Amino acid sequence: MTKGRIVSELPSPRRDYVYNWDASALLAQQHPGSVVCAAERVPESKVKSLRMYRRAPFRQADGHIQINVRESHVEEDGIRYGNVYMVWVPETQEG
């Protein structure tokens, strides 16, 4: 039987985390009207680049992902961090 890995120390605060934005966007798309918490404590610079995504699953013919940041604050390092939430917004048909 394989035992799980035990981590004995916290990662460095300067470590660049990898976020799985596509999985969160797909989850939001599968549950329209629900708010999906995509990640916590995300630097503002990453949120700005995330909002520039124009590819699927973020933008499609039938709707798009709306990205919101909540509980944002500036930490001691001078960087603003916040929690990223995604919501699927269906396109409205006019006519």
pTM of the model: 0.76
11 within domain boundaries: no
5 within domain boundaries: no
pLDDT for position 4: 58
Tell me which residue range forms the domain holding 44: 21-90
9 within domain boundaries: no
- pLDDT by residue (tens digit) across 19-77? 899 999 999 999 988 999 999 999 999 999 999 998 899 999 999 999 999 999 999 99
4 within domain boundaries: no
| 80: β partners | 74
Please determine, for residue 5, whether its predicted confidence score (pLDDT) is greater than 70. no
Count of structural domains within the chain: 1
Q: Model confidence at 13, in pLDDT bands (50, 70, 90)? A: low
15 within domain boundaries: no
Q: Model confidence at 18, in pLDDT bands (50, 70, 90)? A: confident
64 within domain boundaries: yes
| 83: β partners | 70
With tokens 């930490």, the residue in question is 75
Q: In angstroms, what is the C-alpha Rg of the chain? A: 17
85 within domain boundaries: yes
46 within domain boundaries: yes
